[in-house]
């Protein structure tokens, strides 16, 4: 899910430079580094959304603002997509 779906989205919407877009999408997974400062480090029953600093609604609001400038738009799409997949994980969890 975290690798394949972004690749498909990149291919469908950014055909000319989909490899670059896919790379940016994969880079957005680095926001999961904020999990490293959480205690306990990993908890499969925990929802990332609103727990980790880069997964709060404030962070998501910032990502939405990143949609406005063309330069950060692809990054913002990647980040928001990441939040969506994390959110879906929480959804299946409950
Ligand atoms: Zn995450």
What is the residue-averaged pLDDT of the chain? 87
- How far apart CA 58 and CA 16 sit, in angstroms, is 33
Give the distance (Å) from ligand 1 centre to CA of residue 74: 17
Give the distance (Å) from ligand 1 centre to CA of residue 82: 6
Give the distance (Å) from ligand 1 centre to CA of residue 15: 26
Per-residue pLDDT of 36-49, as tens digits, reads 777 766 677 788 88
Contact 11, 17 (CB under 8 A): no
Give the distance (Å) from ligand 1 centre to CA of residue 72: 19
Cis peptide before 79 (omega within 30 of 0): no
Per-residue pLDDT of 5-27, as tens digits, reads 888 988 998 899 999 998 888 88
């Amino acid at each position: 899910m975290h690798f394949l779906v972004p690749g498909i989205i990149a291919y469908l919407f950014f055909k000319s430079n989909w490899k670059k877009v896919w790379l940016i999408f994969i880079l957005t997974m680095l926001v999961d580094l904020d999990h490293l400062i959480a205690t306990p480090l990993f908890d499969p029953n925990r929802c990332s959304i609103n727990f980790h600093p880069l997964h709060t609604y404030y962070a998501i609001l910032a990502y939405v603002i990143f949609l406005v400038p063309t330069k950060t738009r692809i990054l913002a799409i990647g980040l928001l997509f990441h939040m969506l997949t994390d959110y879906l994980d929480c959804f299946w969890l409950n």
